[in-house]
Amino acid sequence: MTSDAVSALAGRATSGWVTLRDLGLTGMITLRGDLANAPLRALVQDITGQEVPPPGRAYVHAMCGTAWMSPDEVLLLVPYDAAPAACARIAATLADQHHLAANVSDARTVIALDGAGAAELLAKLAPVDLHPDHFAPGQFRRTRLGQIAAAFWRDDGRFVVICFRSVAGYAFDLLARSAKDGPVGLFR
């Protein structure tokens, strides 16, 4: 018997001051290694269509791309069904080099925050300066969201939040409750 993969949030969405929505199953690979290594960099570019980003940045287009996690770690975002083959390709290509590639797709949840109040909503919950002058599109942070570990980046018109699947319901409910409270006028 096999089971079908499902998103932890099963397509949940809510709208109002900020629209929240589950982005569904997303392929995610944690890749650790020497991020300056030319073969690793070329492979990341080929798999995601994006370069290895510098610290504090995410290069993501249509949920495919890269996010800087630490000096030796990058998160690759690919279509969900492509993640196993991408991991196998990484293992084959970098077999003679020290690295670690793990498919973490089923361990994570992705939530989009759309609307003019998205930065203020996150600012209520994360210890990050999210003023538009300080957190521009493409910037990326690993931080806390309330009481849980999370990461997020800013696209042109939205924020994208990643958290562990085990706390997906808490994260969504926390964001939804904070959105119901409305703006506090932080970024007028």
Q: Report the CATH number of the 13-23+107-179 domain.
A: 3.30.1360.120
Alpha carbons 168 and 42: distance in angstroms, whole number: 33
pLDDT at 67: 98
Alpha carbons 47 and 87: distance in angstroms, whole number: 10
Where do the CATH 3.30.70.1520 domains begin and end in the chain? 27-106
CATH of 27-106, one of 3.30.413.10, 3.30.360.10, 3.40.50.720, 3.30.70.1520: 3.30.70.1520
Q: Nearest to residue 30, comparing CAs of 91, 105, 112, 138?
A: 105
Name the more confident of 155 and 95: 95
Mean of pLDDT values over 50-64: 96
Alpha carbons 99 and 91: distance in angstroms, whole number: 8
Question: Other CB atoms closer than 10 Å to residue 108's CB: what's the count?
Answer: 20
Query: 83-93 and 38-48 are packed helices; what angle lies between their axes, rounded to 10 degrees?
Result: 160
Which pTM does this prediction carry? Answer: 0.93
Where do the CATH 3.30.1360.120 domains begin and end in the chain? 13-23+107-179
pLDDT at 2: 59
- Phi then psi dihedrals of residue 99, to 5 deg: -165, 170
Alpha carbons 24 and 26: distance in angstroms, whole number: 6
Mean of pLDDT values over 69-89: 97
Q: Which tokens is 160 given?
A: 């994208």
Name the more confident of 185 and 52: 52
Q: Would the pLDDT of 172 be above 90?
A: yes
Band the pLDDT of 180: cuts 50, 70, 90.
Answer: confident
Q: Would the pLDDT of 132 be above 90?
A: no
Contacts of residue 55, Cβ cutoff 8 Å, sequence gap at least 6? 68, 71
Q: Which tokens is 46 given?
A: 């080929």
Q: Residue 165 burial by CB count (10 A; 0-12/13-18/19+): exposed, middle or buried?
A: middle
